[in-house]
Amino acid sequence: MKGVIVLATKEMVTKNFGEGKWKEALQKAGIDKEPMILPMSDIDDQIVMKVINALCEVLNLSFTQVADAFGDYWVNEYSHKIYQVYYDRCKTAKEFLLKMDSVHVASTKTMANAHPPRFEYEWKDDKTLIMHYKSSRGLIDFMVGLIKGVGKYYKEDLKVTKLDNERVEIVFPY
């Protein structure tokens, strides 16, 4: 996983829960000395998962609660520092989510070793979109948290439901 995701997680935990909790989680995950991380760095997926699971324990939150906290922080705070242009191009949550497949390809194009998640889109009816998650990482709960964050950013009351480990249903209010 790219360092940018870990850096965003670290900032979310530090700001919302305190630096001590981040340090505690790293210790629990068996990381004695935190390495220097850059947005482009490659962090072993297994280590990322260990840190996320340790965060659940340290913060006393479920995996989905950590995923929701990350999604909210990434969409409403962190990503604006680097990726504001993607938000400026879209006026609604629907437009933004429909661009997510190409945004993941574009934003990782110049990053060596990136394996961005891919998304496929299926309309159930004119208000109901099913987003298919294509990734070997099994982080669909993060996808759900991120989509909820998009609803908050565009001030739209989205109904977001995980259907299974590969599909999320989104009902738009319009």
What are the helix (H) ranges across the chain? 3-17, 19-28, 45-59, 63-73, 80-88, 93-108, 140-153
Tell the residue number behind the tokens 């790219």, with chain if given. 2
Sign of CA dihedral 93, 96, 100, 101: positive
Count of residues in contact with ligand HEM, rule CB under 6 A:
25
151 touches ligand HEM (CB under 6 A) = no
51 touches ligand HEM (CB under 6 A) = no
Residues in region 90-129 near ligand HEM by CB under 6 A: 100, 103-104, 107-108, 114-117
142 touches ligand HEM (CB under 6 A) = yes
Reduced to 3 states, what is the DSSP secondary structure of residue 164?
A: strand
147 touches ligand HEM (CB under 6 A) = yes
Residues 9-48: x where in contact with ligand HEM by CB under 6 A, - otherwise, as a string: ----------------------------------------
